[in-house]
């Protein structure tokens, strides 16, 4: 009786834009676990849920989750899984709860719609004292987590359904840079759609889904890539971190130019080449352009980043004529699990964030899920070719962005970083090109195909990536 009284429950349902079978399959395919771990929760997979592992009864998964300022290991087991009834149950073997039992059940609403219901029975440690101290915080976190998870699921199912209408199903896609922020998310997303993903690695392959390449030496295992349907090239030295010394700039340029050259040479040598190469580029191509409105047809700018992007894209343009080529010019990708936003968060959470320089410079951004969606669209939509701006339609200056971030975190954002201080800290070239440049970019090519941005509004995008919004499904439909 005491045990029953100590148990609490949480339920949340969401309408799915896919059949009960497809919604269930999304959850049990490889990649789903990684798609369902909120980046703002500092959660990571330790064991299980691998890139080729479907969910099966009896399978165990170990996750490191954030609990306050520390992390704990959570071991979960699939206690029941019945595909014909489209439900499965996971329970905690060990972890932060006294007990945890989570039932995921999908019910059909029609031929192409369904409802997912998440029902959790859990008990906190330390009995009544645990409920008193942590009960409210746990329920709040569960509401945030499942609002986020359901938006991700709806986003993915919509995108997979649109692609399936073009015949894009069951494909083999190779990715360079698959361990990076975009690469690992794109790989997981594609796997939830039933695609096979090959990851190019710089070491000896350890699994069947890995392919060896050495961008510095310009070598690629061409035979292992024969017959893939598409290649996404994301690899490259980060522009963040250290000051732009001569050595750092050399690595930035060489990794992008040399890596792209190697991939293009490999494709040009194939007997059975892919249908499409999607190569990442950057809005740094345009340089500092003030108030000028920039589209894919705008001329390149000047400066180190612009020159690097031009050399980078020139290698992609050398691709053979029978392979469609897309150059995705990325804006600042927003996600709490890495990239520019992750570096900003500590200061903003302390209330010590603010505009950079005057704050008047245009700040082209895109939410991570929309960046992944844009790469996915480039793989299956033949209307996309050549340069494509991967930025959100919601324009923002740096000052607008920092105010929105402060609102989302419920912190003041009134501590500016003067331009002279950033130039002293980073050097004039790096500060001017990375932080102070104004690039007013439009996603003209994506808008021309009616690309459905899931998070085209800045406030909604920040609310989603930081787990602060409890609203319903993403915008794009």
Q: DSSP letters along 359-387, please?
A: S-SB--EEEHHHHHHHHHHHHH-TT--EE
Where residue 65 falls among pLDDT bands split at 50, 70, 90? confident
Q: Given this model, what pLDDT does residue 130 score? A: 76
Q: What angle do CA 210, 213, 217 make, to 5 degrees?
A: 165
How many angstroms separate the most distant Cα atoms in the chain? Answer: 73
> Mean pLDDT across the stretch 398-420?
95
Contact between 223 and 205 under an 8 Å Cβ cutoff? The reply is: no
413-449 in b/e burial notation, b at 16+ Cβ within 10 A?
beebbebeebbeebeeebbbbbbbbbbbbbbbbbeee
The mean pLDDT value of the chain amounts to 93
**In a 10 Å sphere around its CB, with 0-12 CB exposed, 13-18 middle and 19+ buried, how is residue 96 labelled?**
middle
Where residue 456 falls among pLDDT bands split at 50, 70, 90? very high
pLDDT tens-digit series, residues 324-344: 999 999 999 999 988 899 989
- For 2-162, CATH number? 3.30.530.20
Rounded Cα gap, residues 214 and 230, in angstroms:
19
Provide the residue ranges of all domains of the chain, joining segments of one domain with +. Answer: 2-162, 167-465
Where residue 3 falls among pLDDT bands split at 50, 70, 90? very low
Domain 167-465: state its class. alpha beta
Residue 2 has pLDDT above 50, yes or no: no
Q: Given this model, what pLDDT does residue 40 score? A: 87
Q: Given this model, what pLDDT does residue 66 score? A: 72
pLDDT tens-digit series, residues 154-205: 999 999 999 999 999 999 999 999 999 999 999 999 999 999 999 999 999 9
| CB-based contacts of 164, cutoff 8 Å, min separation 6 | none
| CB-based contacts of 302, cutoff 8 Å, min separation 6 | 287
Rounded Cα gap, residues 297 and 289, in angstroms:
14
pLDDT tens-digit series, residues 245-267: 999 999 999 999 999 999 999 99
pLDDT tens-digit series, residues 373-398: 999 999 999 999 999 999 999 999 99
- DSSP E strand stretches across 29-85: 44-47, 60-67, 70-82
Q: Dig out the tokens for 319 from the structure.
A: 């691709």
The distance from CA 363 to its chain's CA centroid, rounded to whole angstroms, is: 19
Return the SS3 of 352.
coil
Helix extents (H) in 166-245? 181-192, 222-225
The 3 state secondary structure assigned to 389-412 is EECCCCCCEHHHHHHHHHHHHCCC
pLDDT tens-digit series, residues 7-53: 899 999 999 999 999 999 999 999 999 999 998 888 888 888 888 89
pLDDT tens-digit series, residues 214-232: 999 999 999 999 999 999 9
């Amino acid at each position: 009786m005491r045990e029953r009284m100590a148990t609490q429950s949480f339920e949340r349902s969401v309408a799915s834009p896919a059949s009960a079978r497809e919604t269930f399959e999304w959850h049990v395919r490889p990649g789903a676990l990684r798609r369902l771990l909120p980046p703002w929760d500092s959660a990571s997979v330790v064991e299980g849920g691998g890139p080729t592992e479907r969910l099966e009864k009896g399978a165990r998964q170990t996750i490191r989750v954030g609990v306050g300022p520390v992390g704990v290991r959570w071991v979960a087991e699939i206690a029941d899984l019945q595909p014909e009834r489209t439900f499965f149950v996971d329970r905690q073997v060990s972890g932060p709860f006294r007990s945890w039992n989570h039932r995921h059940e999908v019910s059909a609403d029609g031929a192409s719609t369904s409802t997912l219901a998440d029902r959790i029975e859990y008990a906190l440690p330390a009995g009544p004292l645990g409920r008193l101290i942590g009960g409210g915080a746990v329920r709040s976190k569960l509401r945030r987590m499942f609002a986020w998870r359901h938006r991700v699921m709806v986003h993915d199912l919509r995108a997979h359904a649109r692609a399936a209408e073009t015949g894009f199903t069951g494909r083999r896609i190779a990715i360079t840079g698959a361990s990076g922020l975009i690469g690992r998310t794109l790989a997981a997303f594609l796997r939830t759609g039933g695609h096979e993903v090959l990851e190019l690695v710089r070491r000896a392959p350890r699994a069947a889904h890995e392919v060896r390449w050495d961008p510095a030496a310009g070598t690629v295992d061409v035979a292992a890539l024969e017959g893939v349907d598409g290649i996404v090239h994301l690899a490259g030295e980060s522009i963040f971190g250290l000051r732009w010394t001569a050595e750092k700039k050399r690595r930035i340029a060489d990794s992008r130019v040399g890596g792209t050259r190697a991939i293009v040479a490999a494709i040009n040598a194939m007997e059975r080449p892919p249908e499409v190469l999607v190569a990442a580029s950057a809005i740094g191509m345009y340089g500092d352009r003030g108030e000028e409105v920039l589209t894919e047809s705008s001329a390149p700018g000047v400066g180190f980043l612009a020159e690097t992007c031009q050399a980078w894209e020139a290698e992609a343009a050398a691709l053979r004529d029978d392979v469609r080529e897309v150059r995705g010019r990325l804006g600042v990708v927003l996600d709490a699990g890495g990239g520019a936003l992750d570096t900003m968060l500590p200061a903003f959470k302390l209330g010590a964030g603010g505009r950079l320089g005057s704050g008047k410079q245009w700040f082209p951004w895109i939410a991570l899920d929309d960046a992944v969606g844009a790469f996915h669209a480039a793989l299956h939509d033949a209307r996309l070719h050549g340069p494509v701006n991967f930025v959100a339609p919601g324009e923002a200056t740096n000052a607008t962005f920092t105010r929105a971030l402060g609102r989302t975190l419920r912190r003041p954002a009134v501590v500016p970083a003067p331009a002279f201080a950033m130039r002293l800290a980073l050097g004039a070239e790096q500060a001017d090109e990375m932080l102070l440049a104004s690039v007013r970019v439009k996603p003209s090519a994506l808008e021309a195909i009616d690309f459905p941005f899931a998070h085209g509004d800045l406030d909604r995008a920040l609310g989603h990536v930081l787990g602060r919004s409890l609203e319903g499904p993403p915008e794009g439909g």
